[in-house]
């Protein structure tokens, strides 16, 4: 039969520290996942904003310079 030794003092001291480190690691992993999701949302928002700005600009149907040398004639 295998003899079971009681934990040493060092093992008893290190156990709570190990548990705390494991909890911190889990918490950091959750934060990292959350930040990655936020970055993805931000990237999509930036892409949408850029697309919308171009659409708004294009919707103004700006005049196109026809090469007329007189700026006043072009303005009219």
Cα 28 from Cα 62, distance rounded (Å): 51
pTM (two decimals): 0.48
Give pLDDT tens digits along the chain (76 positions): 677 887 788 777 888 888 999 999 999 999 999 999 999 998 888 888 777 887 887 787 777 766 767 767 766 6
pLDDT digits (tens, 9 = 90+) for 39-56: 999 888 888 877 788 788
What are the two backbone dihedrals, phi and then psi, of residue 5, each rounded to the nearest 5 degrees? -90, 140
Instruction: Classify the phi-psi angles of 65: left when phi > 0, otherwise alpha if psi is within -120 to 50, otherwise beta.
Output: beta
What are the two backbone dihedrals, phi and then psi, of residue 69, each rounded to the nearest 5 degrees? -70, -20
């Amino acid at each position: 039969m295998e003899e079971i030794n009681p934990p040493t003092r060092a093992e008893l001291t290190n156990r709570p520290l190990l548990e705390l480190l494991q909890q911190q690691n889990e918490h950091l992993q959750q934060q990292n996942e959350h930040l990655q999701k936020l970055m993805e949302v931000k990237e999509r928002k930036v892409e949408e904003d850029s697309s919308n700005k171009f659409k708004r600009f294009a919707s103004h149907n700006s005049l196109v310079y026809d090469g007329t040398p007189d700026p006043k004639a072009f303005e009219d």
